[in-house]
Amino acid sequence: MRVAAKAKLNLALAVVGKRDDGYHELRSVFVTLDLADDVRVAPHKRLEVRNTLPLDGEDLAARAVTALARATGREPFAFVSIRKRIPLAAGMGGGSSDAAATLHGLAQLWRVDADLMRIGAELGSDVPFFASGARAAFVSGRGELVRALAPPRDPIDVVVLRPPLRLPTAEVFGSFTMSDRVAASRVEQLVSAFEQGRVTPDVIRTYAANDLLAAAERQCEAITTWRTAAAARGIPLFLTGSGPTLFAVADDRGDAVRVGRILTRAGMRAHPHKICV
């Protein structure tokens, strides 16, 4: 089975508070991006995962095989091959998307009917969104509550700045303080725009916000440098997830190419993409 594991952007992300289980309560608008890892799942005599990028710690895809096997009474044996295109620890959900793709591919391979979103919630906060198959969604709780939103009729063009560094999520949340919160009303407004079918580039630019921005900037000075350099050229940049990946919202494909060239000439690694695909 071959499954595309798409990246995501958080168009808006609000941290509501701290939960009793130690996680943060979040509200966010997630959208898929036309950047994806290539995940292949096949029968095997043992559990083996091959990844084209070295990982820190256990691969989430391996945990996905074990979790689905436990939920369906199967032996946790499978061969999983992951060709990485999504940067690691970049706030784009690459590992979580790989895990969800593994769940989908293995469920088809084993011909089992399982609640992949529930199983995904055991693996990580972003996995339920990817397991849902939604192109856009309002995500809440610690990520386990996913409500699909109708995507705009046509995908929207963005420019993604993919930095050559990693910023672990735990470090950003460790630096976060409740005084950093600015995004709660923006999330609500953006959800309403999706529900009413009036999402445009201007609407996204108006309501894009991320409560983790200040914490991410405290952990990664480059984020501030990039945003300042882009703003000097009239281009607002927004943070996705816990960073360090940033994105700009373009009016159309031509504008995305133009913005990408401006940012690239300024020394930033910028690439045009589409969201809600």
Question: Catalytic residue at 8?
Answer: yes
214: alpha, beta or left, given left = phi > 0 and alpha = psi -120 to 50? alpha
245: closest CA among 275, 223, 273, 217? Answer: 223
Catalytic residue, candidates 37, 59, 98, 126 = 126
User: What are the structure tokens assigned to 271, written together?
Assistant: 């690439």
Catalytic residue, candidates 8, 59, 98, 157 = 8
Question: Catalytic residue at 84?
Answer: no
* Rounded distance between C-alpha atoms, residue 167 and residue 21, angstroms: 23
Instruction: Provide φ and ψ at 177, rounded to 5°.
Output: -125, 155
Instruction: Provide φ and ψ at 111, rounded to 5°.
Output: 55, 50
Neighbouring C-beta atoms of residue 93, cutoff 10 Å: 29
- Residues serving a catalytic function are 8, 126
